[in-house]
Amino acid sequence: MFGSGIDFPVSKRARVVISFLVGLLCLIASPALASPPAFDVEDPGKALQTDSGVIQLTWKSDDQTTTPQYELEHTPPGSEPFILPTGRDATRVISGLAEGDHRFRVRRAATGELPAGDWSSPLQVKNDFVERSKVVRLLWLGSIVVLATAIAIIHGFFSSRNLN
Amino acid sequence: MFSVSFLTFVIYAALIWTALAFLCLVTLLIRDLKNKSLW
Amino acid sequence: MLLPENHYLSVAALSSQTAWAVVLTLSIVWVFLGFYWGRKAKDSEGFMLAGRNIGLAFGSATVMATWITSNTIMLAPQFAYEQGLWGVLAYATASFGLFLFAPMAVRIRKLLPEGTTAGDFFHLKFGKAGWVLFLIITLVYSLSWLVTMAVAGGELLNVLTGIDYKVGMSIILLVCVLYTLFGGLYAVVGTDFIQSLIILFGIILIGALVLTRIDIPETHSLLAERQPMLMQSYMPVALLSFFNIMLFGFGEVFHNNVWWSRTFAMREGIAPKAFTLAGLCWFPIPIAAGFIALSAGPLGINVTNTNQIGPAVAQYVLADAGFGAISGILILVVLFCSIASSIDSLLAATSDLLLKDVPQHAFGKKLTEASFRKAASLVIIGTGLVAWALALPRLPLYQILYASGPLVASLIWPVIGGLFWKRLHRPTVLLGIILACATGLYFYFAIGWYTASLVGAAVSMLMTLIARIIPKSD
């Protein structure tokens, strides 16, 4: 391994130490021990809020693998988690979220050569829609205005048919 | 929740309706061309 | 069916040569047609109103094509992905404005048999002050729509073809300016017909291919499990804006010269049929174009940007079906047509207002036939230049477009009242328009966009109804 054409008198103990150090270096450099991805948020401990059921999640990784692929784990409120592969993308737009607290984790996905990485710290996302009473109020107001508009036009059309 | 049947109905109805719109415009074009009433 | 491997959501660019070939071919075809059809315009009426003789085929198609903007093709899938089935159903109700305009078109033709623009109506019914209010609102709305279409065109060309944004945007605007300049409304209407057929064909093809790749029950099951709100009958986000979108649509159609000029341009008796038919043809488009985005999850597509979800899913499905490079070309052509069909209408209608209304209603003068064509050229080029200058820095004018919702909605009831009611207290109506704009804008910024047009329309409705009761003063 150190072949340079020059012979150094190396003791047996030294060879053991050197081999151990080289092995340790290889272990540290192994991608399997790179730190897991982390969600790109200002305050990782704080839940993200949404009122539309839509959220874009982005994460960063110091994975040295050439082309890491990721998978996102989504645990909806009161449900079992499921996996969403995101491929090489380090972002995903999640939509259609039910109301309540959702939990997300991300990790490097398993490929042919490497096993899956460790999961990231979980990210909480709280989805709180606008209160129903507000929706109902707007629906009522909208119905009245639209109906009145349609009636005015139809009534006006029939009344004015003989007018100039 | 909207049912599978409703989702299926909406999707197929929209596509068939769009196809009918296409045919309608083509038919009208032919009719107006024949009557020389395009513009 | 769920494919085993993950698919990246990206709109792959066409090769540079193919992209330029497609863009240049389309550009040459439209400009040539503009020049060819423009020969029919012998005078100002021919140029602005295509001789007031447009038939049902062209009439329906031009109304439908103009209402299909790139928003329809791009936003409908975005609505589907973010708001689910209710999102696209709500979007489809924007066709109701076309239906309701049909009976109004009958009255418009009766009231203004020699009318040319919507400004003629506002001046007739609400005097100079009313006309000025109308002009401010319509120019803000029309210009912001025009610029957002130009920006969308540049961005789409950049994403689909790699052509630099500024170059792509300039090409689209230049092409539309040229064929509108050469051909006036003849060119606009004629190209709209071809564009509408291309758009419809593209939507049907892509939609049908998506259907061959998904199993609807499985798609529904996956959505119900993983994106449940998209299938919910109570979807607050979509329902909040349901009537707001509808009223925004009413306001856009009822006031804008794009639709009034078409009403004046159609042969006697054609306009109500054309608007009804156009509404019927337009109604399924947001659903047919939008539903493909619902299949993104079940197809294993990772959505990174909802702005481009429509073309991205379309391209994935087309490529998967073996269409290869043609998929990119088809999407490019459909989007180019949807953008061009709106830009040309806006250019023509806005320049008509400036050409006809401003000299006549502001200065009491009319352009002579001899000076008309030159003036028309200057105005169309000028409008195009202004739009280009605003589109160049990619100003976020879509925010102004959305904020113009309450402005246009404030004109709904004044138009209805002016058309159908003999007695209207004019100052009250005008005050109502101003109050509606102010209130609507306040709600837009303070409460949310989903209230603005609704509030604007409601305030204007109230004031117009009051104006009907107050004894006439003019």
pLDDT tens digits, one per residue of C156-180? 888 888 889 999 999 999 999 998 9
pLDDT band at C106 (very low <50, low <70, confident <90, very high): very high
Indicate the residue type of C193: F
User: Which tokens belong to C330?
Assistant: 């088809």
Q: Return the closest-CA partner of residue B39 out of C215, A94, C134, C40.
A: C40
Q: Which position has the higher pLDDT, C72 or A143?
A: A143
- Distance between CA C79 and CA C290 in Å, rounded? 7
Q: Which position has the higher pLDDT, A14 or A79?
A: A79
CB–CB of C280 and B21 under 8 A?
yes
Mean pLDDT within A100-122? 90
pLDDT score recorded for residue C399: 83
pLDDT score recorded for residue A2: 35
pLDDT score recorded for residue C13: 58
Q: Which helix (H) or strand (E) holds A42?
A: none
Picking from A86, A94, A146, the nearest residue to C243 by CB comes out as A146
Query: Minimum mean pLDDT among A58-62, A140-144, C321-325, C439-443: which range?
Result: C321-325
pLDDT tens digits, one per residue of C247-270? 999 999 999 999 999 999 999 999
pLDDT band at C10 (very low <50, low <70, confident <90, very high): very low
What are the φ/ψ torsions at residue A59 (nearest 5 degrees)? Answer: -140, 160
pLDDT score recorded for residue C14: 76
- DSSP annotation string for C288-341: HHHGGGGGTTTTTEE-S-GGGHHHHHHHHHHHHTT-THHHHHHHHHHHHHHHHH
Give first-to-last CA distance, chain B, whole Å. Answer: 49
Q: Which helix (H) or strand (E) holds A139?
A: helix A132-159
**Reduced to 3 states, what is the DSSP secondary structure of residue A125?**
strand
Picking from A51, A89, A148, the nearest residue to C8 by CB comes out as A89
Whether residue A53 has pLDDT greater than 50: yes
Q: Count other C-beta atoms under 10 Å from residue A161's C-beta.
A: 11
Mean pLDDT within C98-103? 96
Judging contacts by C-beta atoms under 8 Å, the chain B residues touching residue C54 are 39
Give first-to-last CA distance, chain C, whole Å. Answer: 68
pLDDT band at A65 (very low <50, low <70, confident <90, very high): low
pLDDT score recorded for residue C3: 28
- Distance between CA C344 and CA C100 in Å, rounded? 24
CB–CB of A145 and C243 under 8 A?
yes
The answer to whether C472 and C423 are in contact (CB under 8 A) is yes
**Reduced to 3 states, what is the DSSP secondary structure of residue A1?**
coil
CA distance B30 to chain C (A): 9
Picking from C53, C189, C287, the nearest residue to B14 by CB comes out as C287
pLDDT score recorded for residue C6: 34
Q: Return the closest-CA partner of residue C57 out of C338, C253, C278, C259.
A: C278
* Site of tokens 């409601």: C458
**Reduced to 3 states, what is the DSSP secondary structure of residue C446?**
helix
The sign one gets for the Cα dihedral A35, A40, A43, A48 is: negative
Q: Which position has the higher pLDDT, C176 or C8?
A: C176
How large a percentage of chain C has pLDDT more than 70? 97
pLDDT band at C214 (very low <50, low <70, confident <90, very high): confident
Query: Which chains does chain C touch, 3 or more C-beta pairs < 8 A?
Result: A, B
Whether residue C394 has pLDDT greater than 50: yes
pLDDT score recorded for residue A29: 53
DSSP strand pairing (A48-50 vs A123-127): parallel
Q: Which helix (H) or strand (E) holds A57?
A: strand A55-60
Burial class (CB in 10 A: 0-12, 13-18, 19+), C462: middle
User: Which tokens belong to C82?
Assistant: 């973010």
pLDDT band at A8 (very low <50, low <70, confident <90, very high): very low
Query: Minimum mean pLDDT among C78-82, C197-201, C369-373: which range?
Result: C369-373
User: Which tokens belong to A114?
Assistant: 């490497």
Indicate the residue type of C69: T
Mark out chain B residues that contact chain C at CB-CB < 8 A: 1-4, 7-8, 10-15, 17-19, 21-22, 24-26, 28-29, 31-32, 37-39
DSSP strand pairing (C301-302 vs C7-8): parallel
How large a percentage of chain A has pLDDT more than 70? 78
C to A contact (≥3 Cβ pairs closer than 8 Å): yes
* Site of tokens 């082309």: A67
pLDDT score recorded for residue C101: 97
CB–CB of B29 and C284 under 8 A?
no
pLDDT score recorded for residue A80: 94
Contacts of C97 (CB under 8 A, 6+ apart): C246, C249, C250, C252, C253, C254, C279
Query: Minimum mean pLDDT among B13-22, C44-53, C199-208, C312-321: which range?
Result: C312-321
pLDDT band at C439 (very low <50, low <70, confident <90, very high): very high
Whether residue C202 has pLDDT greater than 80: yes
Whether residue C451 has pLDDT greater than 70: yes
CB–CB of B37 and C55 under 8 A?
yes
The sign one gets for the Cα dihedral C120, C121, C122, C123 is: positive
pLDDT score recorded for residue A22: 61
- What is the location of CATH 1.20.1730.10 in chain C? 7-395
Whether residue B2 has pLDDT greater than 70: yes
pLDDT tens digits, one per residue of C273-325? 999 999 999 999 999 999 999 999 888 889 998 888 888 888 888 888 888 77
Q: Reply yes or no on domain C7-395 having CATH 3.30.70.3040.
A: no
Indicate the residue type of B1: M
Picking from A51, A85, A96, the nearest residue to C227 by CB comes out as A96
- Distance between CA C175 and CA C188 in Å, rounded? 12
- Distance between CA C46 and CA C40 in Å, rounded? 7
Mean pLDDT within C137-149? 92
- Distance between CA C210 and CA A76 in Å, rounded? 28
- Distance between CA C154 and CA C167 in Å, rounded? 7
C267 close contact with B: CB closer than 8 A: yes
- Distance between CA C104 and CA A153 in Å, rounded? 7
Burial class (CB in 10 A: 0-12, 13-18, 19+), A90: middle
Mean pLDDT within A139-145? 96
- Distance between CA C467 and CA C431 in Å, rounded? 10
pLDDT band at C1 (very low <50, low <70, confident <90, very high): very low
User: Which tokens belong to C329?
Assistant: 């070309």
Whether residue A4 has pLDDT greater than 60: no
CA distance C248 to chain A (A): 11
- What value does the mean pLDDT of chain C take? 90
Contacts of C257 (CB under 8 A, 6+ apart): C117, C118, C119, C138, C142, C349, C350, C352, C353
Q: How big, in percent rounded to 5, are the helix, strand and coil portions of chain A?
A: 30, 25, 45
Q: Return the closest-CA partner of residue C54 out of C188, C197, C182.
A: C188
Mean pLDDT within B5-13? 96
Mean pLDDT within C430-450? 95
pLDDT tens digits, one per residue of A17-47? 766 666 566 555 554 456 888 898 888 788 8
The answer to whether C339 and C173 are in contact (CB under 8 A) is no
pLDDT score recorded for residue C8: 37
